[in-house]
Amino acid sequence: AMHIIADASGLSEIEIDIASMENFAKELLRLTLPENIKIAFITKTLIQYSYAESFRIILDHPQMKAGVFQNEQDAREWLSGESD
């Protein structure tokens, strides 16, 4: 599986709404990926966490899983594990 760390902890502004996130997640459903993908979001603030967690919840692609973490160590542990 491909592993991606998306560090959102430095973001000071987020300019996407939930409807746009839902549309993006629906577009992802059209993709057939060559391998499974795990995305670990790293967040520091409540707003960063809320957006990342919202995306994790609406992500419905059978080949993609997302997790939300407060630090890189936890993100890497989740990415290297077999389970969620």
User: What confidence tens digit (pLDDT) does each residue in 31-55 have?
Assistant: 888 899 999 999 999 999 999 999 9
What are the two backbone dihedrals, phi and then psi, of residue 11, each rounded to the nearest 5 degrees?
A: -70, 130
Contact 74, 43 (CB under 8 A): no
Distances in Å between the Cα of 74 and the Cα atoms of 17, 33, 59, 79 are 27, 26, 21, 9
**C-alpha angle with apex 83: 72 to 42, nearest 5 degrees?**
20
Whether the per-residue pLDDT at 12 is higher than 90: the answer is no
d(CA 20, CA 30): 16
- Write the DSSP symbol of residue 53: H
pTM as predicted = 0.83
